[in-house]
Amino acid sequence: MALTPSRARRRATDGRKGRPVEPVASGPVGIADLLHAPSTNRTKTAALAFVAFFVVITAVAAAFGKVQGPVLEPFLPISASLWGAAELLTSYLLLTQFAVNGVRAFLVLGAAYAVTGLLTIPYLAYFPGLFLPAHISLGTEQVSALLWTAWHLTFPLLVGVYFVVDQRLTARIIDPSQIRGNVTLTVVLVLAGVLVIVGLVNFDRNALPQIVDHGRFTPLWHHVYSPAIIAVNALAALLVAVLARRPSRLHLWIAVALATSALDAVLNAFSSGRYTISWYVGKFETLTTASVVLAILLSEVGAMYRRLGTMAMLDSLTGLRNRRAFADYLRWVLRRRREGPSELSFLVLDVDFFKGFNDRYGHAAGDVALRRIANSIVDSLHRELDVAARFGGEEFVVLLPETGAVAAEHVAERIRRGVEQMGITHGASTVYSAVTVSIGVAYVDRSTMIDMTTLFGLADHALYRAKERRNCVVVVPYSPDDEKLRESIPRVLSAAE
């Protein structure tokens, strides 16, 4: 039976089968999965629960809009710096993803987060008394409040409009030079847009609408600005969540970020001014809005690195460990033997007359045969410590730590019979009508230390003897005092090289 993707994933999680613990993802790998892979019911439930939690928090905190809390002056610059940094980092990850795959949605989302993150800088700089004494401050509380309003409107407008234009998020740029050009243009437009917003807000301070008066919000804020922010963010959240026929994970969490932004505006509408209970909770929701997508992106980056690490350890054809991963495991086993001596057996398997098989049936059939042989080897290993690998071409290796010569011979014979009984027709074989393997077994007793090179040479020596008869198992115990054996090992290694 061929190794199907589901079978490979299941086997890869079982150390007893000679596979790494971490499974290999079957399908698209990377942050792009967040944008196009449909979200699971579990993800939808988590997103709904997240929003429901903040709805409850908002409803409770709104009742304390006029209740003054402790005046913690460092709270605002610290929280604003955190959400600004989170938005800029999110923007960087999204723009980097666009540079990799050219999906335009990442470019627009990255630009939206860049605008909000960059607007945090003038918001803090213009806020009186935060970093400079009030009498020499760059701006007034009016300017900062309007900048806060600008970023709470810019983000949902950019995201909402784009999701309407490209509902399936399929727009993509293929040409690398165009991708680089779009990134450069976007960065320039974002910087220019932020400067324009700051310039418009700061152009005539005396003509600005009074939405803050000596630290307290005016009726204009409560009845016009806050409702507008709430409506725009809520509408954008609905557009993102509803327009997609099969919302992806990124769809859902962008919608969550917009929903928490709307809830943040709700609390500001109910808050009479700074340092009230609802004001503090609102700033916490602003931080959540900025960081929720970042958290999802970082978790996906971590998962991607784990998958890449696993893929680097596996043979792409059979799903077994590759040569490098097997060598690492063998070094670990040899180090353990120096700390606590134990028996060790090492198997080298070679498919009999495999060149003839490929010549007669084609390389595609040869690949199928190798996958089936790998499955058979895996099925023959019953312990967690026993590890199999494809060593190259039609050669496989199996390491059996803490295994004596008799037990190793039984395992090798079980593997040999398993391959033979699969009955893969092999008309080019001179020993059997089906595909078979020859197996050499190197055995080292518990009192003898051995290095990797000598162990491989000993196993190759055993395989050389097995291939003289084909479709058999030959066990060779290691004896440092056997001059004839010691002389034969370098010859086998030289022939193999």
What does the DSSP assignment read for 180-198?
Answer: HHHHHHHHHHHHHHHHHHH
The C-alpha atoms of residue 497 and residue 214 are separated, in whole angstroms, by: 84
For residue 33, name the pLDDT band (cuts at 50, 70, 90). low
The C-alpha atoms of residue 131 and residue 80 are separated, in whole angstroms, by: 13
Mean pLDDT of 207-230: 81
Q: What are 300's two structure tokens?
A: 């996906």
CB atoms closer than 10 angstroms to residue 429:
20
User: Tokens 């589901």 — which residue?
Assistant: 6
User: In this model, does residue 78 exceed pLDDT 70?
Assistant: yes
Q: What are 355's two structure tokens?
A: 């060149």
User: In this model, does residue 416 exceed pLDDT 80?
Assistant: yes
Mean pLDDT of 90-100: 91
User: Tokens 């970023």 — which residue?
Assistant: 151
For residue 133, name the pLDDT band (cuts at 50, 70, 90). low
Helix (H, G, I), strand (E, B) or coil at 267: helix
Percent of all residues in the chain with a pLDDT value above 70, rounded to a whole number = 86
Average model confidence (pLDDT) across the chain: 84
Residue, of 21 and 82, whose pLDDT is higher: 82
User: In this model, does residue 409 exceed pLDDT 90?
Assistant: yes
Helix (H, G, I), strand (E, B) or coil at 460: helix
Digit-coded pLDDT (tens) for 476-487: 998 776 666 666
For residue 490, name the pLDDT band (cuts at 50, 70, 90). low
Mean pLDDT of 394-402: 95
44 CB-near residues (< 8 Å, 6+ apart): 247, 252
The C-alpha atoms of residue 285 and residue 283 are separated, in whole angstroms, by: 5
State residue 493's pLDDT score: 44
- Strand spans (E) along 67-209: none
For residue 233, name the pLDDT band (cuts at 50, 70, 90). very high
User: In this model, does residue 423 exceed pLDDT 60?
Assistant: yes
Say if CB 291 and CB 88 are below 8 A apart.
no
258 CB-near residues (< 8 Å, 6+ apart): 155, 156, 159, 233, 234, 236, 237, 240, 289
The C-alpha atoms of residue 306 and residue 314 are separated, in whole angstroms, by: 13
Q: Is the pTM of this model over 0.95?
A: no
Residue, of 128 and 413, whose pLDDT is higher: 413
What is the bridge-based pairing of β-strands 212-213 and 216-217?
antiparallel
Look at residues 168, 160, 171, 294 and name the one whose alpha carbon lies nearest to residue 240.
160
* Cα–chain center distance at 264: 31
Say if CB 111 and CB 190 are below 8 A apart.
yes
State residue 30's pLDDT score: 53
| Least confident among 82-91, 163-172, 402-411 | 163-172
The C-alpha atoms of residue 181 and residue 175 are separated, in whole angstroms, by: 10
| Least confident among 9-13, 38-42, 252-256, 422-426 | 9-13
The C-alpha atoms of residue 245 and residue 133 are separated, in whole angstroms, by: 53
* Cα–chain center distance at 483: 53
| Least confident among 254-258, 272-276, 470-474 | 272-276
Helix (H, G, I), strand (E, B) or coil at 456: helix
Q: What are the residues facing 477 on neighbouring strands? A: 443
Q: What distances in angstroms separate CA 386 from CA 29, 179, 315, 333, 452, one per listed residue?
A: 29, 48, 17, 11, 17
Amino acid at 471: N
Residue, of 228 and 222, whose pLDDT is higher: 228
Consecutive H or E run containing 345: strand 344-351
Mean pLDDT of 114-127: 89
Mean pLDDT of 409-431: 95
Digit-coded pLDDT (tens) for 323-373: 989 999 999 999 999 888 899 999 999 999 999 999 999 999 999 999 999
295 CB-near residues (< 8 Å, 6+ apart): none
Say if CB 242 and CB 34 are below 8 A apart.
no
State residue 3's pLDDT score: 39
| Least confident among 131-140, 271-280, 320-329 | 131-140
Residue, of 357 and 139, whose pLDDT is higher: 357
State residue 206's pLDDT score: 65
Amino acid at 266: V
Digit-coded pLDDT (tens) for 446-464: 888 988 988 999 999 999 9
Look at residues 209, 235, 234 and name the one whose alpha carbon lies nearest to residue 222.
209
- Strand spans (E) along 162-221: 212-213, 216-217
The C-alpha atoms of residue 242 and residue 366 are separated, in whole angstroms, by: 49
* Cα–chain center distance at 385: 28
259 CB-near residues (< 8 Å, 6+ apart): 51, 54, 233, 234, 237
User: In this model, does residue 215 exceed pLDDT 70?
Assistant: no
Say if CB 488 and CB 454 are below 8 A apart.
no
State residue 25's pLDDT score: 32
Consecutive H or E run containing 263: helix 249-270
Mean pLDDT of 2-14: 38
State residue 27's pLDDT score: 36
